[in-house]
Structure 1
Amino acid sequence: MSAAGPAATAGERPSFGARLTRAMDADGPLCVGIDPHPGLLHAWGLPDDASGVRELALRVMDAVGGRVAAVKPQSALFERHGAVGVAVLEEVVAAGRATGTLVIVDAKRGDIGSTMAGYADAYLRDGSPLAGDALTVSPYLGFGSLSPAVEAAAATGRGLFVLALTSNPEGASVQHAVGPDGRSVARVVAEEAAALNAAELGRADATAEPRSARAVLGSTGLVVGATIGDAARRLGVDLAAVGGPLLAPGVGAQGAGPAELADVFGAARGAVLASSSRGVLAAGPQVAALRAAALRAAADAAAALA
């Protein structure tokens, strides 16, 4: 069962990295994506409206809550149904809190100044109904533009997953680009995240961190596609040096097995949190079948990343 623990105030809450480390040790390195897209709603016999999204999302939470390290609701697929859909996302966040399951809100926010501060307030502030345990963010207005989110996450014991090396073909035109200093954009992002983790872990109170079979992770992670091949090595990105979790879409149903994971992550495999959406959700709509698929995916991810 999940060891993520009950809700706590910012002063009592261990860091996100410490909580994720504990959850991965307890339940395996799996994050279940909650992606209520129209095709899946149809396949489950549900209407493509907020009521269908609610039924799907809460059924997934019933199946996996307390049994996997994390869940990752895709914010856009809730937002497309307006205010009622966003209210369902708030219910998913609350369900994660109730079951002790870490919630990574996949909103990929990235902006500047007061706008980024607004996103940080919405997704990372204690008391906000949209604030899960971590948020995905985009650094492509400059890593420094994420400062409001970095500061809010640090203040509340939450985490960030920064887009670094994504598997979509369009991403390479930006992420693989090399600057005047010879460093790729992805390398700069990884090094900025590594610096944040080094500062966090250097000042962390070791007595507050859970005992773990793996090194305790920092709270600033990267999103790295499991199907990018040797891109990290070619671009000089030292994933093992990041010191934070590596959220890896593409494991299992999307084609990444043990050989691909070894190629992409190498010595950083112990920091990988495999993300599976289709591979688990295709087993629905019955709760028992979803639960069995999630537990199987967690075991497969653990074996593939060993």
Structure 2
Amino acid sequence: MSAVAPFGARLAAAMDAHGPLCVGIDPHVPLLHDWGLSDDAAGVREFGLRVVEALGGRVAALKPQAAFFERHGSAGVAALEDVLAAARAAGTLTIVDAKRGDIGSTMGAYADAFLADGSPLAGDAVTLSPYLGFGSLAPAADLAARTGRGIFVLCLTSNSEGHEVQHAVGPDGVSVAASIAAQAAVLNSGAASHGLAMGSVGLVVGATVGDAARATGTDLQAVHGPLLAPGVGAQGAGERELAAVFGPARRQVLASSSRGVLSAGPAAAGLRDAAARAAEQATSALRG
């Protein structure tokens, strides 16, 4: 077992210290242009490093979206490694938004890339897709537990196509989303029995999915893990929407804002002001 405190415990402490806000590092092409940066590996590297410099030590977590770096090939991946290293040096938790999912040794290789000690692509947590079966994620869940890292499993996403799979009901009458949440809860049961505020296996639940949790019978509170909620800010989710989606599980929510904060850049002062406002709003909505 790792000597590092479990991810869930570290995230809970960071949320208490800085508010329940995660800021995405999503170097969209229009944002790069707005910031006066080139759409290449050097541009996304500079973008990410500026976000870390402005917000490191000021927010609960940063969430670089791997795809925006990977689209520039090996140099873009190297840029992502540099951004993760900078966040690590700043003492800020990182969630690599990679949404990986596979089986067997291939899933094990993804786990090594994003969760192994010494890997330059390893953050403090990674997002995963469970749609080859939740059990296929075992190599990542096991390695995360050994290294003190976390995983966030896609559960109820806000894209219009998500319901085709997530709301589907099996022969046992249980929806796919409810089954994913229940299996995450099992992995977090040890944390709950040890009195930890949150386990290290979280779910991704869109902040704009309305009553999807209720409609699918998904018990988010029972997960006893963090709930990463994209869609806060630019995508329209405010206090009312967060309350409707998460209900009694609100205190587990890590609200994620990307464009809502990033559009205030590139000046560090603008990014810090926007992040502070977003954190204050998230705190009011989720912990009031």
Out of 211, 219, 223, which is 1:238 matched to? 219
Alpha-carbon displacement from aligned partner over 1:195-248 (angstroms, at most 9, x marks no partner): 10013443x4x6xxxxxxxx6110000000010001100110011111000000
- Cα distance between partner residues in 2 of 1:287 and 1:111: 39
Matched, 1:222 2:213: no
1:6 corresponding residue in structure 2:
none
Report the alpha carbon displacement of residue 95 of structure 1 after superposing the two structures with TM. 1.2
Do the aligned partners of 2:191 and 2:198 also contact (CA within 8 Å) in 1? no
| Residues 185-200 of structure 1: pairs in structure 2 closer than 5 A | 185-200=176-191
1:209 corresponding residue in structure 2:
none
Out of 66, 76, 91, which is 1:85 matched to? 76
Report the alpha carbon displacement of residue 24 of structure 1 after superposing the two structures with TM. 0.1
Alpha-carbon displacement from aligned partner over 1:54-99 (angstroms, at most 9, x marks no partner): 1111000011000000000000000001111111111111112111
Matched, 1:107 2:88: no
1:172 corresponding residue in structure 2:
163
| Residues 17-56 of structure 1: pairs in structure 2 closer than 5 A | 17-56=8-47
Report the alpha carbon displacement of residue 129 of structure 1 after superposing the two structures with TM. 0.5
Number of aligned residue pairs:
287
Q: Which SS does the other structure have where 1:283 is aligned?
A: coil
More displaced 10-residue stretch of structure 1: 92-101 or 136-145: 92-101
Out of 252, 258, 263, which is 1:271 matched to? 252
Alpha-carbon displacement from aligned partner over 1:255-306 (angstroms, at most 9, x marks no partner): 1111111110000000000000010000011111111111111111111112
| Residues 11-22 of structure 1: pairs in structure 2 closer than 5 A | 11-22=2-13
Report the alpha carbon displacement of residue 120 of structure 1 after superposing the two structures with TM. 0.3
> TM-score under structure 1 normalisation?
0.92
- Cα distance between partner residues in 2 of 1:58 and 1:99: 11
Q: Which SS does the other structure have where 1:191 is aligned?
A: helix
1:249 corresponding residue in structure 2:
230
- Aligned-CA RMSD value: 1.0
- Cα distance between partner residues in 2 of 1:56 and 1:242: 35
In structure 2, the gaps of 5 or more residues are none
Q: Which SS does the other structure have where 1:285 is aligned?
A: coil
- Cα distance between partner residues in 1 of 2:237 and 2:261: 15
Out of 50, 57, 61, which is 1:66 matched to? 57
- Cα distance between partner residues in 1 of 2:77 and 2:192: 34
Out of 263, 266, 277, which is 1:282 matched to? 263
Shift >3 Å, 4+ stretches:
none
Q: Which SS does the other structure have where 2:270 is aligned?
A: helix
Q: Which amino acid letter does the alignment assign opposite residue 301 of structure 1?
A: A
2:108 corresponding residue in structure 1:
117
Q: Which SS does the other structure have where 1:223 is aligned?
A: strand
Report the alpha carbon displacement of residue 11 of structure 1 after superposing the two structures with TM. 3.1
In structure 1, the gaps of 5 or more residues are 1-9, 207-214
Q: Which amino acid letter does the alignment assign opposite residue 67 of structure 2?
A: A
Aligned-residue identity in percent: 70
- Cα distance between partner residues in 2 of 1:123 and 1:11: 16
Report the alpha carbon displacement of residue 252 of structure 1 after superposing the two structures with TM. 1.9
Report the alpha carbon displacement of residue 176 of structure 1 after superposing the two structures with TM. 0.3
Q: Which amino acid letter does the alignment assign opposite residue 106 of structure 2?
A: T
Do the aligned partners of 2:27 and 2:47 also contact (CA within 8 Å) in 1? yes
Q: Which amino acid letter does the alignment assign opposite residue 128 of structure 2?
A: V
- Cα distance between partner residues in 2 of 1:11 and 1:240: 27
